Structure 1
């Protein structure tokens, strides 16, 4: 026999540097690794008993090309295919592209894939761990024993692989790695795993992609038109775990299957055009709301299996709704079973905490300058867009990616190669991600949550921009909320908080966000931010929403705020749906529904969201009365004149109008349908030849207290 005892000992203790070079069939000899077996036979046309070398290692001569193994322990005998009897699955091109960091369909090669290999069904596992001394896949199929399925290193790519015959979708697994010193690391979840156990359990789960047959081709062919700059885009932001719960079943969250009906129906009824999901990538900690993901390639099991998530997306598309995913390439948690020191080194993160650790969130920062890491993230963006037909990605915390000194004092950060604060590698990654996303999935959109004045966020990459389709307008959000939270008595001193945005609203393609961030961490609810007594709070909030929907920019509203939830949002319970028994809350919801309808059906209110030709002030300087008047317009369509009276004082007020004749009052936030006092202009006004400001005609109108009124030519 050619196998030495020392070599056999190294194999059974998982210390051999290249087990595939010895195990399996080589030069007419089978070496089998079967820990715990007392006897082992090779099976083919003949049957040969293999001789034990050390406990668990058996050897014998074999003249056939293929074989199976039979093993016995006590009175139990089992037959199986030898995982070391199979050739590699990954090829030279895969190895080259992975090593080069240009494998844009990385998920098709790494992770766990149910396949048929050499006419045998099983699962192919592949993982990147270039600095590991040894990698094994362990799971419920091998007693979590790292000796049984030691993996094969594929060239210089840093990838390890093994085909494990006889296991199927649903199997639990992790990776057991030895670092360069030979120390066994904490078991790791699969970085490209497509499923996971229910938290707090941490194992990855073998899942088969593509099990749902999409029926959304009509939507996908037209979504480019539905998501471009001139289209009405109104987004309902949702945390799936707390939107609605099933209280007669212990308060569990809705499943993807249930959400495909209830949430999709609700969003359609409310007239939103898109659903934006807080991160549903797998995460261990509920309190992170998904913003600290472990499994970037796995939809969370909290609501169901991957094919059920695909069903949810498909259901939205069949109803004409787009689905946007909050995507988190900005940081990842420090959990031992995650990416932290994955192979014993700072593999996905920077080694220097000045570059690789977020002090604000106690999370780690991806090393965007490492080609394999940027490839991992870029491929993940394409994965969601292609495998699940998602219509867009909203990228979280972009500002933290762009600047090396983000939330750091002097001396706590490392300058770039030019001595500056910009993270050049992250900038290049975002540009590549946007170029690949727009080039790879027709009609999608990407959105940046970027809170600084970084230039060119929505400028195309070929014009040296970051290449996003849209950017959250955090400046508008902060200024507007600050203004509306003030006592109306003092608003006249802060008039510019509502007019300042007009100086930059067309510098980017903006979305106006009232997101989850505005109703957590002691910030209260939208209704709670409003000043005055209860009726004034409702009136202020109605006026705020109408101002938001009339203002240039696409719209976003976080769940619960459409009906004026009083309490701050909590991820641990469902929304306060009982409030809809109160006509004031139902009226507020009716207003949001009508705002969405008006926004969609009126080109003047959406065509110019990102075009300076679509907006002009008629009166922006009446700070004493806190009245704002502006015009929204679109080519070939009737204009809309918007009048906001943001004091609790009613006015008979002359407004300039761009056209003569009769004008219809198309929205009045004081309507009784919305919980107001039904004060208005009896449905119409008439322009007179009486110059007012830049307009040659004007009309005397009634402005209810704390209201927004909109007019369009009859």
Structure 2
């Protein structure tokens, strides 16, 4: 190449539209010797310095008033390490030239990223502190294959896209650049001239920290250190352990009373973790904490999926919260949203002018319900981006599992779409085969890379094999929310007790399919918003009956096979619906003898009872762990069933969903024995009527319910009792 580029090339370069800046800037070998070129807008003078000895070699001449400087070194043929002494406004600075550094991305990473099998793409893409040739700085890499030019812009270069255009790796569409002297905590974005020639300013998809809304820049941040797996936490996730999950929206669990402002991650580390520990829950599940632009999405429309939201503090502060939970013996699950993302201009939408992360056809790529975009799961780089993110949270923050949101919307192409507004797969069916393959791939990778971590599917259909292994044709999740149980039982509980006998099956039907998947029983945030009312206010009757219904229902839930999940506020029967803009109504607990305090005490004791008695959890997913004792007494709305553990221990759960006491109620049992009432939701301690079975109960050799032995019980009104076998 000649030492002097032509006018058109210079114009393209200084206007920020030259796609291959490394071919022109930096040091190059020519037939006339070495040539050094630098684009330094607004500089008044530039000198070339030999870095080895610090001596000035020559002055660069200004070849274009817009900032192109050049020097021809006719006597030098061999490249050497140099610096530039640049004078701006009468002040001279010694700088490193970004364009003297070679390619950054290694061949193996380039191959794996293009193939879609890079397990940790976040280690290569995004912004990372690094040191090259003894020079400290930040390396940047972003995927934008159809862009005409990409520049790093930030507070370190006056947000000027002309100053730091990136190198394009044509083999995979990744743009890269090492910027000396850029430090941690600085704001940046990518300025992209897209395939249509339009300039777009985009946040980094792989940013580890981002500004809080309404600002949208990314922040340079080091990759969090790896958190090694912990055997005790892994064991707490397994099928044969008690799992009781407290679902939390960090922005509204509790707020400062004086200004309604959020608690910080550090305050939550003390207050939230202490409360969950006190209440006896085994797991905390956090609604999405990824950076998101709109508070009202509750985090379910994320854009910075690698960045903990700045609403509550820094990434280091978030790590303190997770560590505090772990020290308290509590596992942490994150809601994870690979199902959709918002179309904000600074985000992923039309990233390089094309539908890069999303499907191009709106019949595939637009969620009509939420007006959000759908990831193109068939694209290798998108699979890297999402699957890598799942591992990122587990490996880099020590998260113990992911609850995956809206799985049904991912795996069905006709989800919430009328006929003619969706695109069949290549077999003509309605399954999204790319999304199914992505979920299997992600779950498989997590299983091999992070042993002991779990994934939980919010999947609302009868799709088969959600919790079956991928190698057996399943999706590979460990657990699935039992949406059928939740819908059926809540519909039953909302009925006036006089009508419940006509809907008896809604409380028993779940056992027909209970062993088809590994289920979690959820009473989640979705059940206390959008006009559905709180759990308490969905119950019929006067206020006493409402509370009694809630207590009886919770007892039934904790006795039923399946792990448990309860959304915050439900544990003390909050009166109003959840509002993400305000704290929970903690004042309802000011009266320690009040009804709300009674429900809170009950939930605490249910958790304690659940964790203490293995029959309630140990063989949740095996047929021999459950047996109906009374399933057909619709007239009295009474249900009774037996729970067993692996060693033969037994517990009986009896529920009466009418306000009528049932004294002298006989229940057939499989074998004779002595039983003790371990928990009674009608206890005075929970503000109930205190009717029950004090002391021991002995079976009688009196046939009942097709069994030779039976127990004679007092079943309180609107109550559930637990009986534990003593011998």
Find 1:693's aligned residue among 691, 694, 705: 705
Find the aligned partners of 1:10 and 1:368 in 2 and give their Cα distance.
36
SS in 1 for 2:168: strand
Find the aligned partners of 1:585 and 1:117 in 2 and give their Cα distance.
61
Find 1:602's aligned residue among 596, 602, 613: 613
1:666 touches 1:683 (CA, 8 Å); kept in 2?
Answer: no
CA deviation vs aligned residue, 1:488-509 (integer Å, no higher than 9, x gap): 0100000000011110011000
| TM-score of the aligned structures, taking structure 2 as reference length | 0.96
SS in 1 for 2:369: coil
Find 2:398's aligned residue among 373, 389, 404: 389
Find the aligned partners of 2:646 and 2:544 in 1 and give their Cα distance.
39
Q: Report the alpha carbon displacement of residue 637 of structure 1 after superposing the two structures with TM.
A: 4.1
SS in 2 for 1:169: coil
2:234 touches 2:400 (CA, 8 Å); kept in 1?
Answer: no
Find 1:71's aligned residue among 65, 70, 86: 86
CA deviation vs aligned residue, 1:499-520 (integer Å, no higher than 9, x gap): 1111001100000000000001
Find the aligned partners of 2:416 and 2:353 in 1 and give their Cα distance.
28
CA deviation vs aligned residue, 1:453-482 (integer Å, no higher than 9, x gap): 000000111111111000000000000000
Find 2:164's aligned residue among 136, 149, 154: 149
Residue 38 of structure 2 is matched in structure 1 by 32
SS in 1 for 2:619: helix
Residue 478 of structure 1 is matched in structure 2 by 487
**C-alpha RMSD of the superposition:** 1.3
Q: Report the alpha carbon displacement of residue 552 of structure 1 after superposing the two structures with TM.
A: 0.5
Find the aligned partners of 2:253 and 2:351 in 1 and give their Cα distance.
35
Residue 91 of structure 1 is matched in structure 2 by 106
Q: Which moved more, 1:618-627 or 1:368-377?
A: 368-377
Residue 222 of structure 1 is matched in structure 2 by 232
Residue 647 of structure 2 is matched in structure 1 by 636
SS in 2 for 1:309: helix
1:5 touches 1:53 (CA, 8 Å); kept in 2?
Answer: no
> For this pair of structures, how many residues does the alignment match?
708
Residue 626 of structure 2 is matched in structure 1 by 615
Residue 207 of structure 2 is matched in structure 1 by 193
SS in 1 for 2:11: helix
1:99 touches 1:372 (CA, 8 Å); kept in 2?
Answer: yes
Find the aligned partners of 1:17 and 1:487 in 2 and give their Cα distance.
71
Q: Which moved more, 1:695-704 or 1:652-661?
A: 652-661
CA deviation vs aligned residue, 1:215-247 (integer Å, no higher than 9, x gap): xx6x71223321111111110000001111123
2:650 touches 2:725 (CA, 8 Å); kept in 1?
Answer: yes
Residue 256 of structure 2 is matched in structure 1 by 246
Q: Report the alpha carbon displacement of residue 299 of structure 1 after superposing the two structures with TM.
A: 0.8
CA deviation vs aligned residue, 1:340-361 (integer Å, no higher than 9, x gap): 0000000011111001000000
SS in 2 for 1:247: coil
Alignment of 1:271-282 (within 5 A): 271-282=280-291
Find the aligned partners of 1:110 and 1:50 in 2 and give their Cα distance.
34
Q: Which moved more, 1:474-483 or 1:695-704?
A: 695-704
2:210 touches 2:216 (CA, 8 Å); kept in 1?
Answer: yes
SS in 2 for 1:663: strand
Residue 235 of structure 1 is matched in structure 2 by 245
Residue 452 of structure 2 is matched in structure 1 by 443
1:209 touches 1:307 (CA, 8 Å); kept in 2?
Answer: no
Find 1:591's aligned residue among 593, 597, 602: 602
CA deviation vs aligned residue, 1:85-126 (integer Å, no higher than 9, x gap): 212221111111111111111000000101111111111110
Find the aligned partners of 1:647 and 1:450 in 2 and give their Cα distance.
32
CA deviation vs aligned residue, 1:569-593 (integer Å, no higher than 9, x gap): 0110111001012321111011001
> Structure 1 residue 136 and structure 2 residue 148: aligned?
no
SS in 1 for 2:359: coil
CA deviation vs aligned residue, 1:290-344 (integer Å, no higher than 9, x gap): 0000011111111111122122112111221111010000000010011000000
Find the aligned partners of 1:134 and 1:82 in 2 and give their Cα distance.
19
> Structure 1 residue 261 and structure 2 residue 267: aligned?
no
Residue 163 of structure 1 is matched in structure 2 by 178
* Unmatched segments (≥5 aa) in structure 1: none
1:671 touches 1:677 (CA, 8 Å); kept in 2?
Answer: yes
1:691 touches 1:697 (CA, 8 Å); kept in 2?
Answer: yes
Find the aligned partners of 1:613 and 1:61 in 2 and give their Cα distance.
85
Residue 15 of structure 2 is matched in structure 1 by 13
Find the aligned partners of 1:247 and 1:618 in 2 and give their Cα distance.
50
Q: Report the alpha carbon displacement of residue 425 of structure 1 after superposing the two structures with TM.
A: 0.6
Find the aligned partners of 2:197 and 2:12 in 1 and give their Cα distance.
13
Find the aligned partners of 1:484 and 1:196 in 2 and give their Cα distance.
44
1:209 touches 1:306 (CA, 8 Å); kept in 2?
Answer: no
1:130 touches 1:159 (CA, 8 Å); kept in 2?
Answer: yes
* Unmatched segments (≥5 aa) in structure 2: none
Find the aligned partners of 1:588 and 1:388 in 2 and give their Cα distance.
34
SS in 1 for 2:284: strand
Q: Report the alpha carbon displacement of residue 57 of structure 1 after superposing the two structures with TM.
A: 0.4
2:17 touches 2:193 (CA, 8 Å); kept in 1?
Answer: no
SS in 2 for 1:252: coil
Alignment of 1:160-559 (within 5 A): 160-185=175-200, 187-210=201-224, 220-248=230-258, 250-559=259-568
Residue 670 of structure 1 is matched in structure 2 by 682
Find 1:571's aligned residue among 571, 576, 580: 580
Q: Report the alpha carbon displacement of residue 395 of structure 1 after superposing the two structures with TM.
A: 0.5
SS in 2 for 1:383: helix
Q: Report the alpha carbon displacement of residue 25 of structure 1 after superposing the two structures with TM.
A: 0.9
Find the aligned partners of 1:635 and 1:251 in 2 and give their Cα distance.
49
Q: Report the alpha carbon displacement of residue 72 of structure 1 after superposing the two structures with TM.
A: 1.9
Find the aligned partners of 1:487 and 1:240 in 2 and give their Cα distance.
35
